Structure 1
């Protein structure tokens, strides 16, 4: 099967060269452009979610032999949630190769978090079907490496902690606002400001989802107030 240069480039970024590229094409095909002869990626998404889950659970279990289930669960949830999958999809330019219907494309489908997360899981399933669990595991551990290393910090829900602190100190919930946005659509960079009722503010800037930058801003505020 002839593979376009665009897909070749994506495979290079992904870290897997498909023996059966039709699996990758299906993983990148959204329901808005599917047909009886062109299947969409929903079934693969279902499988990929399980492949990702097992890989992450095994990695966390092996990395910290003394961790309790209560400690492992939030780390796991942080690594497999849709926001994380979408962030990684953006990092490897998955949105650029998504196959979408015209209406979905016009509405910014290549940037939508849910579409990117679903397609990322479908791509992992495609790797699994193409070359087995070890190949899928290798790709996941490579793409998720930095997040696995920092998962304990990332798993702390800073926004919840900051809201609880504010309420305990007689304040209304913190307010988050986007004070700047830059970068290409597939890899946006946000500046988020969090403000407390007493006028105190903290700012965070970075690539990823708005929620992830909000978490960074909340962590910055917590550090500043010593909470």
Structure 2
């Protein structure tokens, strides 16, 4: 495995990472398609936890919201999509080590790969520099997401899904319990339930809108 290029090292340091052990950072940027002994997977596992704890700490310090609301925001901010957004914002794709085939398959713009490598870099930062510096960098890189209110205002079904996950509940289940009126003016009533929590119903002129109404009522009642 060759060392970090001077361009990549400069990019890492300009972004806010502190590079000590070059082999660690090289692994953090290496996709499994390269067939090398060290790739980003183990570091991604670690970085995922560094990110989660850093964001959870920020939310706890900055918000008086109840646990369920904190979990909803946390899930949105540490999501794969958000990690990929941060990765694109810092120009990560240009520095990933990925095979020609994986590149041809769209790997350089894959949310999954970009998100994983973003987390692997946080794992490397943690191992090289400790949690305090890692947390500080997370707060800088994720500041736009933190300040945008990500996870606060969501489609009711998404909010309920995240609320259930954040509270370690089974996913919500939707069921049409009534349909009335002619086809051109049908009315649907949908019941949504979360195991061992409760249920709520919503009525609208389409199944999707009725599900949305039911989810909104459930969150107002239990969220």
Given the two structures, how large is their TM-score scaled by the length of structure 2?
0.68
- Which position in structure 2 is the counterpart of 1:160? 157
Separation (CA, whole Å) in 2 of partners of 1:52 and 1:30: 20
The answer on whether the counterparts of 1:74 and 1:155 sit within 8 Å (CA) in structure 2 is: yes
Identify if the C-alpha distance between structure 1 residues 96 and 159 changes in structure 2 by more than 3 Å, giving closer, same or farther: farther
- Which position in structure 2 is the counterpart of 1:75? 73
> For 2:94, what is the secondary structure of its paired residue?
helix
The answer on whether the counterparts of 1:82 and 1:113 sit within 8 Å (CA) in structure 2 is: yes
> For 1:155, what is the secondary structure of its paired residue?
coil
The answer on whether the counterparts of 1:85 and 1:117 sit within 8 Å (CA) in structure 2 is: yes
User: Root-mean-square deviation (CA), in Å?
Assistant: 2.5
The answer on whether the counterparts of 2:9 and 2:19 sit within 8 Å (CA) in structure 1 is: no
1:149: Cα distance to partner?
1.8
Separation (CA, whole Å) in 1 of partners of 2:23 and 2:90: 19
- Which position in structure 1 is the counterpart of 2:44? 45
Counterpart of 1:171 (choices 186, 206, 212) is 206
Aligned length: 168
Separation (CA, whole Å) in 1 of partners of 2:105 and 2:14: 26
Separation (CA, whole Å) in 1 of partners of 2:152 and 2:94: 29
2:1 is the counterpart of 1:4: no
1:130-182 CA-to-partner distances (Å, cap 9, x unmatched) read 1111111111000011211223x543222737xx9x974313648xxxxxxxx
Separation (CA, whole Å) in 1 of partners of 2:60 and 2:146: 12
1:18: Cα distance to partner?
0.3
- Which position in structure 2 is the counterpart of 1:62? 61
Counting only pairs closer than 5 Å after superposition, residues 115-130 of structure 1 correspond to structure 2 as 115-130=113-128
The answer on whether the counterparts of 1:55 and 1:137 sit within 8 Å (CA) in structure 2 is: yes
The answer on whether the counterparts of 1:7 and 1:97 sit within 8 Å (CA) in structure 2 is: yes
Given the two structures, how large is their TM-score scaled by the length of structure 1?
0.67
Q: Which has the larger radius of gyration?
A: 2
2:109 is the counterpart of 1:111: yes
The answer on whether the counterparts of 2:51 and 2:122 sit within 8 Å (CA) in structure 1 is: yes
| Unaligned 5+ runs, structure 2 | 159-173, 175-186, 189-202, 210-223
Counting only pairs closer than 5 Å after superposition, residues 142-161 of structure 1 correspond to structure 2 as 142-151=140-149, 154-158=151-155, 160=157
1:88: Cα distance to partner?
0.2
| Unaligned 5+ runs, structure 1 | 175-227
